[in-house]
Each structure stands twice: as structure tokens, then as C-alpha cells.
Amino acid sequence: MSLLKLVHRNLWRHPVRTCLTFGFSALALFLFVFLTSVVTTLDAATKAAATNRIAVQSAASLYVYMPESYRPKIEQVPGVESTCPWVWFGGYYQDPSNFFAQFAVDLPTHLGQYPEVEVDAAQQKDLLADRQGCLVGDELAEKFGWKVGDKIPILSNIYTVEKGKAWEFTLRATYHSRKPNIDNKTMFFHWDYLKEMRKALRAQGFEAGGQDVGVWMTKVKDGYDPEAVIAAIDALFEAGPQRTRTQTEAAFQAQFASMLGNVPTFLGWIGGAVLFAIFFSVMNTAGMAGRERSRDAGILKALGFKDRLAGGMLLLESMAVVGVGGVTGAVLAWAAAPRFRDQFAQFLPNYFVGTPTLLLGIAIALFIGLAGGIFPAARLTRLRTVAVLRQEA
């Protein structure tokens, strides 16, 4: 027999109430950690962006392409080290549910611009030598069980010759990015191969968008001010044919988050509201438990236990149900992160639950358990033994 046993027995006086409070706390903290992680994932890509890379896109929209002839003009701007075309391919593997991002890029230039992307040297050599070769993020390769040398048929929603006919690529290399500005679930292939596809499509009378480019990812030489380079590029194309909007990689990444409008703020509000709801629910539950424990508190005090003990035991109950429930929810959200990353690969390929978010969730869970139980516990501590035993008698 110990006082912990008494706390444990009290927890199971109302098993349904205890289980519901535990479950609600777990759900609330799960949601909080999940929603906070969505926001931090969106922020992380922006924060990890390089300061010496800038993105040139059409001033009209990201969906309006620019002529290929822009490349040598951009490369001649003082301070530009290299520029690389990026074109969205919009395809999927076998089934539309297997959607992931594919980009046609000038692979040698692209790899030179992203030192944070690690590729095996031998694989890189094979990749650059094979026109149909592609570079795939290691997480994507693992998801579909692809090995280097595998043929990968991709069906594109944009570049379609006939329904159900796929373009074939050969997996020549996998990469791993050390920073979240590039996720590990994207496929890159040769810009020249896309140009050939477009030619073939045009030969068959299809509209294939000329040889236009969606974004020119541009690297700035050391010692040059990126803002000055940005201004020079935009000034260069001020008269058209397609006006440009150039921005730092961070600003470019941030616009994807801003495409979601106020969603991140909204998510933050939902997370906060969920926490408030659980807080008041816990206060109510602890209040009920406190009233039920009044007589027990009186008995314990009469037996010689100190005034604060009964309150402390109630606080422990609150911490046990809400704190442990909340911590369980937070840890579950952390453990489920890889599954969520797969599930939301199209929108949040880099979704992650950071250690600070997890620790914040755990701290909030413990705080709610403590704060929710402290007022009923204080009431029990202040109870006059004689009054409570007389009332109950």
C-alpha cells in the first residue's frame, strides 16, 4: 500500500471519464504538434535557402514561361555565375496517386549550384552521360523500391503523346539533400531530353510550349550583392518580351507558403484553440474530481496527513491523465511524421516534426496538467477538515 496506489485507484474511479480525458489530451497535443510542424516545415525551406541563389520567373505568374533565349542574356549580367532552366514536368508513376515533382534541368549546372545535394561521384558521371538518365531523391527511390539502372516510366499530364503512353527514364543516380530547401522526393532529368520530347510532340502537331522555361535558377558570384544582380536582371527584361520577377531563393520559397494564403496563421489559431479547449476541459474534470475527493481529503487530514497532501495527490492525478495523455499525443505526432511525409508528399515533401516542436508539445501537455489541476488542488488543501466531514456525514 502506498499513496501512489491511492492515486492510481482514484484515477480508475471513473474509467470512462479518465479514458476520455486521456484521449482528448492526446488528440489535442497530437493536433498541436502536427499543425505547428506544418507551419515550421513551410518556414524551414525558406530559412534554409542559400543567399547566393536567385530565381528568375515571369513577372506575370509562375505559370507563364520565359523564352530559352533569356539564358545567355542572364549569364551576361555582372555578378551571375551560372543560370539553370527549371521546367515542371507534371507527371506520375503508374497511377495518378503516385504523384511527385519532376523537373527538367540542365543537370551539370544544377549540381554545381546546389552543393548541399550529395550525389555519388560514379553515379553522377553515369547520369551526365545518359540523355535519358534521371536523378532521384533517396526517399523517393526508397518509396517505390527503385534501384540505380531501373527504367522508370513517367506519365505526364502536360507532355502527352497518347493516353497512357509514358516517357521512359533510366535511374542513374540518387541524391540526398542536407537542407530542407530541396526535398529528397523529387526527380530531376536532362533539360535536353525535355527539348527532344517537345520537338517530337510538335512534329506530331501537339502544343508543347516551344522551348520555354518556368524558372531560371541563378547563382550569384561571391562578392556580388544579390539585390543588385536581381535589379539588373529585371531591368534587362523590362521591355519584354516577357518581363521578369527575380527574387532571392528564400523569397521564392516563401511564395509557395504564401500561396496557401493565411493557412499557416489559420493553422496556428486552430492549434491554439485546441489547447484552450483542452485546458478548460481539464479544469472542469479536475474540478469534478476535486469535489468528489473532498471527503477523502478530510479523512486523510484527520488521519494526520498534511493539508497539502490531498491537493498534491489531485495534482498528480491531473498530471498523470493530462500530462501523460498529452505527451503521448505529442510523441505519436513525432513518430507519425514519416507517414505524414509520404501521405502529403505532394504538398509537404519535407514535412518534419522538429525537436523544439516536440519539446514544446511535451512542455505544454505538462503545463496544462499542472495548471488545470492547481485550483481544485488548492481548494482541497484549504478545506477545513471538520466542515467537510460534517457535511459528508
Partner 1 sequence: MATGPETLARMRGITKVYSRGGQDVRVLDGLDLDVGSGELLALMGPSGSGKSTILNLLGGLDRPDAGTIEVGDTEITRLSSDELAGWRARHVGFVFQAFNLIPVLTALENVELPLLLTPLGKKQRREHAEYALELVGLKDRMDHRPKQLSGGQEQRVAIARAIATDPTMVLADEPTGDLDRASADAVLDILSRLVAEHGKTIAMVTHDPAAARRATRTLHLEKGVLVEQGTTSHA
Which residues make up the interface to partner 1 (CB under 8 A)? 1-3, 5-6, 9-10, 12-13, 295-296, 298-307, 385-386, 389-390, 392-393
Nearer to partner 1, 205 or 304 (CB): 304
CB of 292 to partner 1, least distance (A): 10
Least distance in angstroms from the C-beta of 322 to partner 1? 20
- 301 alpha-carbon distance from chain centroid: 52
Nearer to partner 1, 121 or 303 (CB): 303
Shortest Å distance, C-beta 389 to partner 1: 7
- Which of 50-81 are b and which e, b meaning 16 or more Cβ less than 10 Å from the residue's Cβ? bebbbbbbbbeebeebbeeebbeebeebebbb
Cβ contacts of 332 within 8 Å, gap of 6 or more: 26, 30
Name which of 311 and 326 has its Cβ closer to partner 1: 311
Q: Which amino acid is at 258?
A: S
Instruction: Specify the residue, 165 or 306, whose C-beta has the smaller distance to partner 1.
Output: 306
Lookup: cell for 22: 486521456
Shortest distance, position 318 Cβ to partner 1, whole Å: 17
What nine digits make up the cell of 79? 555578378
Q: Distance between CA 312 and CA 266 in Å, rounded? A: 38
241 three-class SS: coil
Nearer to partner 1, 195 or 295 (CB): 295
Burial class (CB in 10 A: 0-12, 13-18, 19+), 184: buried
Q: How far is the CB of 1 from partner 1 (least distance, A)?
A: 4
How far apart (Å, rounded) are the C-alpha atoms in residues 297 and 379? 10
Smallest distance, Å, CB 374 to partner 1?
A: 20
Nearer to partner 1, 137 or 298 (CB): 298
User: Facing residues of 29 across strands?
Assistant: none
